[in-house]
Amino acid sequence: MLKQFLNQKPGQTIAFLPHADPDVLAETMVAFANADGGVILLGVDLRGNPNGTLTPDDAEAAMRQALPQCRPPVVVDWQQEEVSGGWVVILRVARSPELHALIDGRVLVRHRTLNEPLGGEAIRHLAATKSTGDFETSAVAGTGLLEFDRHVLDEYLQHRANRGRKPPAGGVEDHLVEIGAMTPEGEATVAGLLLFGKHPQTYLPQSGVVFVKFHGKEPRGRDGLAGYGRRVEIEGPLVRVMERAWQLVWDEMRVEAVVTGLKRQELPEYPQFAVREALVNALCHRDYRLKGRRVEIRMYEDRLEVISPGGLPGYMTLDNLVEDHFSRNPRLVAGIFEWGYIEELGLGIDRMIEEMLQFGHSPPEFKATPYSFTVKLYNVLDRTPEIQWDTNMNERQLRAMNFLKENGRITNRDYQTLCPDVSPETLRLDLVDLVDKGLLLKIGDKRGTYYILK
């Protein structure tokens, strides 16, 4: 089990803490409980190497001091494993239905590798979301293991094994209970049916997808009359719905042949990753409590729209959508992650934007209402006229903006190359200022940070 975690990197659901610092431990527990949950490894450096200096007594003492700092207390399961010269303690923090704060009043959430405080409005949004409870773990009356498709379940276990996971201890049923797919009493949960059910729509008719293709740029048929060119309803467990939806979009997508020199290259109408990410997000993060509404895929002449029932979850807004991450259905997300449809938590929106720009399209458009979230991908190549930069910029910033126009992105290292005689801190503040002015969008974190035109 320990080796499995050490092979990962610190991120949205895993933290490496070299020392048993009670304050840092309390902050991390609260941040995980308020977000998607996660695993804390005590006695491990940031590169995933056990430092051999931790003892079980150290960990227990830190826990005794950390737990009273969490209001209300955070529930933590922990185990210890001996390594060369010392111990590593594994702490599992579940996502909590309650809102947790530290004793000093701070409300933290996990953002990639950081524990970040929330402001007042974000705290109210998060509290409102948590008060509804975790619908995905609700038992579905009259169901049990017989409702699961064994072929789908075996496929999941195989993908899980391919990711280096050990076989489930105690058998498949115990594993289903552990991941929230089944209750201890043997009933299937909403998440379990969506992931492994033979036909989830029998119990959750809202869990399918509707694909509609229109001939023009408006939701009408030919000659402006009501209607559409094609309409398909997709049902089945979540991964089958994703696969069929993607194949349907791909079949309907135009492909352009481009000849460069002696090479012929086929370019699809939309970047594959951007389409797949929009579909996966819609199905994983939709609000399954909303009955009578399914995920909709609308294909127009100039754009692709993916509409997901339910507004943005937790403290998410359009302003923090790129930088922050919060899952309405973390068990669904974890299951789809094991299948390999999600590469790394919290980075999908970044790559979606990046791929659209690399293809020469405008960035995706996002629209949020209290009851729906829409992603729009436009297929028209961006023919932006000459940009007139804000005159309220210094000469260095103008140089950075022109670099962005030519190259699509800029990193701190790129900027330092452009301005070698300026301190890195001054250049960093230049970029922060351009983000604050709404001209740039910051993508990524720490060494992976880069900026694109907003």
- Most confident segment among 33-42, 353-362, 374-383, 388-397: 33-42
Q: Is 73 exposed, middle or buried (0-12, 13-18, 19+ CB in 10 A)?
A: middle
State in Å, rounded, how far the first CA of the chain is from the last one.
Answer: 43
Residue 316, SS3? coil
For residue 364, whether the previous peptide bond is cis, meaning omega lies within 30 degrees of 0, is no
CATH of the domain spanning 395-453, picked from 3.30.420.80, 1.10.10.10, 1.20.120.1770, 3.40.50.2300: 1.10.10.10
Q: Which of 154-168, 176-190, 347-361 has the highest mean pLDDT?
A: 176-190
Instruction: Name the pLDDT band for 453 (thresholds 50, 70, 90).
Output: confident
The mean pLDDT value of the chain amounts to 88
Check pLDDT > 70 for residue 359: yes
Q: Quick: pLDDT tens for 219-255.
A: 876 666 667 889 999 999 999 999 999 999 999 998 8
CATH 3.30.950.30 residue spans of the chain: 2-119
Confidence tier at 132 by pLDDT (50, 70, 90): low
The pLDDT of 407-434, averaged and rounded, is 89
Q: Confidence class of residue 386 from pLDDT cuts 50, 70 and 90? A: very low
pTM of the predicted model, to two decimals? 0.76
Domain with CATH 1.10.10.10 in the chain: 395-453
Residue 385, pLDDT above cutoff 50:
no
Q: What is the pLDDT of residues 39-89, one digit of tens each?
A: 999 999 988 889 888 988 999 999 999 999 999 999 999 999 988 767 999
Per-residue pLDDT, averaged over 435-454, amounts to 80
Predicted confidence band at 259 (pLDDT cuts at 50, 70, 90)?
A: low
Of 20 and 344, the one with more pLDDT = 20
Higher pLDDT residue, 351 or 299?
Answer: 299
Which of 12-16, 73-77, 139-143, 351-355 has the lowest average pLDDT?
351-355
Q: How confident is the model at residue 168 (pLDDT cuts 50, 70, 90)?
A: confident
What pLDDT shows up at residue 446? Answer: 66
Backbone angles phi, psi at 295, to 5 degrees: -60, 135
User: What is the domain class of 206-378 according to CATH?
Assistant: alpha beta
Distance of alpha carbon 97 from alpha carbon 113, whole angstroms: 22
Which class is 2-119 in CATH? alpha beta
More confident residue, 146 or 363: 146
- Distance CA(336)–CA(240), nearest Å, equals 11
Asked if 148 and 192 count as a contact pair (C-beta separation under 8 A), the reply is: yes
**b vs e for 257-279, b when ≥16 Cβ sit within 10 Å of the residue's Cβ?**
eeeeeeeeeeeebbbeebbbbbb
Helix, strand, coil tally for the chain in percent (to 5): 40, 25, 40
Start-end ranges of CATH 3.30.565.60 in the chain? Answer: 206-378
The span from the CA of 414 to the CA of 397, in Å, is 12
pLDDT score of 140 more than 60: yes
Measured at the alpha carbon of residue 41, what is the angle toward residues 39 and 43, in degrees to the nearest 5?
Answer: 170
Q: Number of H helices and number of E strands within the chain?
A: 14, 18
User: Which of these, 40, 29, 15, 39, lies nearest to 109 by C-alpha position?
Assistant: 29
96 pLDDT more than 80: yes
